[in-house]
Homo-oligomer: A and B are copies of this chain.
Amino acid sequence: KRIFSIVCIPGDGIGVDITDAATQVLTKLSSTFGTFTLKFDTLDWSSKNYKERGYYAPEGGVNSLKKYDAIYFGAVGWPDVPDHISLWQMILPIRTTLNQYANVRPTKILPGTSSPLSACVADPSLLDWVIVRENSEGEYSGHGGTTPSTAHAAHTVATEVSIFTKVGCERIFRFAFETALSRPRKKLTMVTKSNAQRHGMVLWDAIFYEVAREYDGRVEYDKMLVDAMTVRMVNRPESLDTIVATNLHADILSDLAAALSGSIGIAPSSNLDPTRQFPSMFEPIHGSAPDIAGQGIANPIGAFWSAAEMIRWLAGADGASNDEGLVEGTGVGHMVEAADCLMQAIANVTENGVKTRDLGGKSGTREVTDAVCEEI
């Protein structure tokens, strides 16, 4: 019986509510299966503590995460701390320090829920995507500055520098092609804005076509400009399958995808180190939602789905590639079955109408959580 140690960072706002809910569901799952154990530690890296102590993670904090098998993250951000501070002190350094260069964001319409898109209201199967987000560089490199360093000089100029490396592009494209290969339709759409951004984005495109050659005949691929991509997501959802995009583009497109699938409250995200050298991190894509925090009404489905992805990743059976090629499924302790079971439980619960308000239901976080535990 394999023991996995998971570190939870609930963070701020509804991050706390949904992390509680997720650990409850995960505990139920492992005790039901009985073939694997999850041990949880919790870290209080939050905006509240930042206000009191002056830091989110203590010195060496991010490195201390390396001893865990996985990281479960709630949400970070609170009105009284500028957002760029909360993010650059916590979530962004975790992603880059732990080599989590692939952020995977599946989207589909769950049973019993509906899309705001009229076409998908009639046929929810039209929308079934996985967005692979470059998670380590690009527009989130953090480079740049402001001169003079006050906003108040008439001639102040600030720069924001996006960095694209050949290594970074190659590995995310290879990961995306492997993801596409693992799905029934084996299609990959690459998103770019190389028409207007003539340096980094042009390299991005060139490397895409280099990597694509390795997959010729095995994966069907095409290229979209990010602006036109939003139109295609709205008008021809069925034409898309796997999508690969830069850090910023995929950030935007994955929120849009979540909205089109019914609610941002259901959308999961996995920050993966495909080499498995360091722990990967799992988090719902929604934020800390200060407006509904602590009211017991947050939708925990995105948190549960993220938890299912964590279990699947821990089993090593997800079809992701590492530097040497495909990691074959090891099926540790029936964990793939456990992940499937959790996804089925979620589907049964939404289908039965036990849903939070964002999905048009009346239930609270606790009620949905209990119902999912019940189904397991």
Contact = CB atoms under 8 A, between A and B. Distances in A.
A284 B139 CA distance: 28
Given A160-B161, A207-B151, A199 B146 contact: yes
Interface string A127-160: 0000000000001101111100001011111111
A199 B116 contact: no
A251 B227 CA distance: 6
A157 B164 contact: yes
A264 interface: yes
A275 interface: no
A65 to B, nearest CB: 20
A360 to B, nearest CB: 12
A115 B118 CA distance: 8
Contact of A140 (B88, B167, B197): B197
B252 A252 contact: yes
Residue of A143, A194, A203, A207 ringed by the most chain B CB atoms within 10 A: A203
Given A139-B196, A161-B159, A195-B84, A230 B202 contact: no
A162 B160 contact: yes
A210 interface: yes
A194 B84 contact: yes
A199 B163 contact: no
Contacts of A156: 165-166, 203
A321 to B, nearest CB: 19
A231 B252 contact: no
A317 interface: no
Interface string A186-227: 000000011111111111101100100000000000000111
Nearest to A230: B256
A3 interface: no
A84 B198 CA distance: 6
A92 B160 contact: no
Contacts of A154: 166-167
A250 to B, nearest CB: 10
A17 B117 CA distance: 31
Given A166-B154, A194-B83, A160 B259 contact: no
A87 interface: yes
Contacts of A252: 226-227, 230, 252
Interface in A76-123: 77, 83-84, 86-88, 92, 115-119, 121
A235 interface: yes
A311 interface: no
B234 A160 contact: no
A8 interface: no
A11 to B, nearest CB: 14
Interface of A: 77, 83-84, 86-88, 92, 115-119, 121, 139-140, 142-146, 151, 153-167, 193-204, 206-207, 210, 225-228, 230-231, 234-235, 247-248, 251-252, 254-256, 258-260, 264, 287
**Top-8 shortest CB links A-B:** A83-B195, A160-B200, A144-B199, A158-B203, A227-B255, A230-B256, A84-B198, A156-B166
Given A160-B199, A231-B258, 12 more contacts: A83-B194, A84-B197, A87-B195, A92-B196, A139-B197, A140-B196, A144-B162, A146-B203, A155-B166, A227-B252, A230-B259, A231-B255
